[in-house]
Amino acid sequence: MRRSYLGEFEEVVLLTVAVLGEGAYGVAITDELDRQTGRSVSISAVHAALHRLEEKGMLSSRMGDATAERGGRRKRLFTVTVLGSRTLHDIRATRDQLWGSIAPNALPAISI
């Protein structure tokens, strides 16, 4: 099976869904992305990425219960699928292999 391409933003959205587990919905994902990456993203960009990932089969979603704090509206909750998990593991393995292939002193030193 050919792996679907993931852009960097889709990858971090997929990882964030995995981080949040059962509580992964649009606003929570947006807040966690900002907290984890320091990157301010719009809710519409997150929803677009979630939609693409669901179309690719890497996420599934279901409607949660209505809540009073949301005025009776329901949250769409997202879960990483087996394909999404496999894709994330493949990406990590590829990155680890590339990092392990860098010759010593090939990169300029940086101070953290």
How confident is the model at residue 2, as a pLDDT? 53
Boundaries of every domain in the chain? 8-89
In percent, the amount of the chain with pLDDT more than 70 equals 93
How confident is the model at residue 16, as a pLDDT? 97
Number of residues that make up the chain: 112
DSSP per position, 28-66 = HHHHHHHHHH-----HHHHHHHHHHHHHTTSEEEEEEEE
* pTM, full prediction: 0.85
**83 near 2, Cβ under 8 Å?**
no
pLDDT lower than 70: segments of the chain? 1-4, 68-71
The top-level CATH class assigned to 8-89 is mainly alpha
How confident is the model at residue 3, as a pLDDT? 61
Phi and psi angles of residue 45, each rounded to the nearest 5 degrees, phi first: -65, -40
